[in-house]
Chain A
Amino acid sequence: MRLRTLALLACFTLPLAACGDDDSTPAGEMQHDDGITRSESGNFMLHPMMADWAPTTGDHTVRFHLMNADGAVQASALTVEPWMPDHGHGSSAVPVATDMGSGMWEVSSLVFTMPGAWELRFEATIEGAVERFVMPVTVQ
């Protein structure tokens, strides 16, 4: 846990440095306390560039970092769908993802219309293959 937090800190402070995989991560678990979400294939990781990201309702612009066990990963495309699985709805605004280089993506027009449990459903195109991430987000 502490190791992972340190690794995440390193990701924040040194975006170009390798963000090491954590051997203690149980396979199949998608989300961790430290905010790192694994892709469904398990090969890639994504995290917001903010420790303990807990957004409020409203419009947000957030940077996300895409990586694998060896470090930052370049994706050719990234889409994000905010979704509230308990209620079966998303938001009317379509988020815009901009490639900032070095595995960094800035997502704007990320709109949460109510407090509660949301998911950010990402699709990243990496070397021609689509990797899916489901990142739980608690909106205050």
Chain B
Amino acid sequence: MIRALLLMGLLSPGAAWAQACCTGTGAGEFGVVGRCRQAVLGASLSYTHALASFDKAGERQPLEDAIADDVVWTVGGGARITPAWQIHGSVPLRLQYRGFTGLDADTQVGLGDVTLGTRYLAVTDPMTGISQSLLPFVDLLALVRLPTGRAPEATEVPTGADVMGAGGYELTLGVRVSKFITPNHALVVNGSVGLRPARDLDLPGGTRRFAPGQVGNLHLMYLYVHSLWWSGGLHATGRWTGDAAEDGVTVPDSGSARTRLGAHVTYALQVPYWEITGAVWLDPWWDHGAANQPFVGPTASLTLQRSWL
């Protein structure tokens, strides 16, 4: 089936349906099995350079005397269990540089937080365009982030450069709705909630119970499928967290917000097996574009993925 469609796409450039079919859902995502494929393995290298922080009131503060650079090498992959149901996961290896006033600059390498996920395709878009059918793709998502990276409270170096993870579990449940307005243009909305259980922090002065706030995520994407080889997308993401609590007492104004804008371009080196994706992400450079974020700054990434049919 897929080979026939590919052949169609290769033989007639107008066979946009086939193009979309093989570029459709999973576009711009890492380690997620794409449409018409059975499995995927990928590796991604990203670099983030912090430029600013946002305080509680949402005022953007350029970083003074602080340098925070993160290089993340992520390997991941996924496989279909049934045609509609897949499992996937990713393992980040992080290299972090921190330079602060009065401290020796420090570079640390370590495992970040491993993510495992599953998704179920509940509704299928015929990808014939909105004039033919209103049905979108609907994916139901569940993700768990494991605290495999060193937790903030477990740091052993003065700069905290060895803090590789969030310190706790996060269970994310979400829905991803993708609609091909035409066979070449799609809009994607991904909404999810993240649940973060409380955990005990063992500190020199005794145990403290810390409950991070719950999370809401929203990801909007416009996807353009140019051909079997080229596709790209524009992204806007938001992540909001509620107030944390310490020993059962809410920490006032401890919630946070982070929004980012991004763009990606994917090129299929060998259709439909090998593809390479370049992406950039930017944080707002205006006040109130985020709140309570210690380090924000642009990210550039390059991803290579191999799929199996």
| Distance from A130 Cβ to chain B, minimum over Cβ atoms (Å) | 12
| Residues of B with C-beta under 8 A to A59 | 100-103, 158
CB proximity to A under 8 Å, residues B237-296: 244, 246, 251, 253-254, 256, 292-295
A117 to B204, CA, bound (A): 21
CB distance A57 to B100 under 8 Å?
Answer: yes
A113 interface hit (Cβ, 8 Å): yes
A46 contacts B by Cβ under 8 Å: no
Task: For the complex, give the distance between the alpha carbons of A112 and B102 in Å.
Answer: 11
Closest to A87 in B: B152
CA distance A16 to B102 in the complex (A): 30
Interface residues of chain B, those whose CB is within 8 Å of chain A, are: 53, 55-56, 61, 63-66, 98, 100-103, 151-153, 155-160, 163, 167, 201, 203-205, 208, 210, 212, 244, 246, 251, 253-254, 256, 292-295
Min Cβ gap A107→B in Å is 13
Residue pair A56, B152 in contact (C-beta under 8 Å): no
| B212 neighbours in A (Cβ, 8 Å) | 88
Contacting residues, chain B, for A91 (C-beta < 8 A): 155, 158, 160
| Interface residue ranges, A against B (CB under 8 Å) | 56-60, 81, 84-94, 111-117, 138, 140
Closest Cβ of chain B to A119, distance in Å, is: 10
A81 to B63, CA, bound (A): 24
A88 and B203 contact, Cβ closer than 8 Å, known pairs A59-B101, A116-B55, A117-B55: no
Q: Are B158 and A111 interface neighbours, CB within 8 A?
A: yes
- Interchain CB contact under 8 A, A58 and B244: no
Contact present for B294 and A115 (CB under 8 Å): yes
Contact B53 A116, beta carbon cutoff 8 Å: yes
B153 and A115 within 8 A (CB): no
Name 8 A/B residue pairs within 8 A (Cβ), A-sorted: A56-B66, A86-B256, A89-B163, A112-B100, A116-B293, A117-B55, A138-B55, A140-B64
Q: Are B156 and A115 in contact (CB under 8 A)?
A: no
Which residues does chain B contribute within 8 Å of A140, judged by CB atoms? Answer: 53, 61, 64
Please tell me which one of the listed residues B156, B163, B251 contacts residue A85 in the complex, with CB atoms under 8 A apart.
Answer: B251
Contact (Cβ within 8 A) B157 A92: yes
Q: Among the interface residues A56, A86, A90, A91, which one has the most CB atoms of the partner chain B within 10 A?
A: A86
Q: Are B205 and A57 in contact (CB under 8 A)?
A: no
A49 to B156, CA, bound (A): 30
Number of A-B residue pairs, CB cutoff 8 Å, is 101
B101 touching A57, Cβ below 8 Å: yes
B153 touches A90 (CB 8 A): yes
A32 to chain B, nearest CB (A): 17
Most interface-central of A57, A87, A89 (chain B CB within 10 A): A57
CB-CB under 8 A from B61, the residues of chain A are 115, 140
Give B166 Cβ to nearest chain A Cβ, in Å: 9
Chain A residue at minimum C-beta to C-beta distance from B295: A114
Task: Write out the residue numbers on chain B whose beta carbons fall within 8 Å of the beta carbon of A92.
Answer: 155-158, 160
Min CB distance A24 to B, Å, is 23
With A57-B65, A87-B152, A88-B167 in contact, is A113–B98 under 8 Å at CB?
yes
Nearest CB to that of B67 among chain A residues? Answer: A57
A119 vs B53: C-alpha distance in the bound complex, in angstroms? 18
Complex CA–CA separation, A88 to B203 (angstroms): 11
7 more contacts with CB within 8 A, not counting A88-B208, A90-B203, A92-B160, are A56-B66, A86-B256, A88-B152, A92-B158, A112-B100, A113-B163, A140-B53
- Chain A nearest CB, measured from B308 CB (Å): 41
**Contact (Cβ within 8 A) A116 B158:** no
User: Do the beta carbons of B152 and A89 come within 8 Å of each other?
Assistant: yes
**In chain B, what residue has the closest Cβ to A113?**
B160
A28 to B55, CA, bound (A): 25
User: Once bound together, how far apart are the Cα atoms of A94 and B205, in whole Å?
Assistant: 12
Residues from chain A with a CB closer than 8 A to the CB of B100 are: 56-59, 111-113
Q: Which residue of B lies closest to A59 (CB)?
A: B102
Contacting pair A57 B55 (CB below 8 A): no
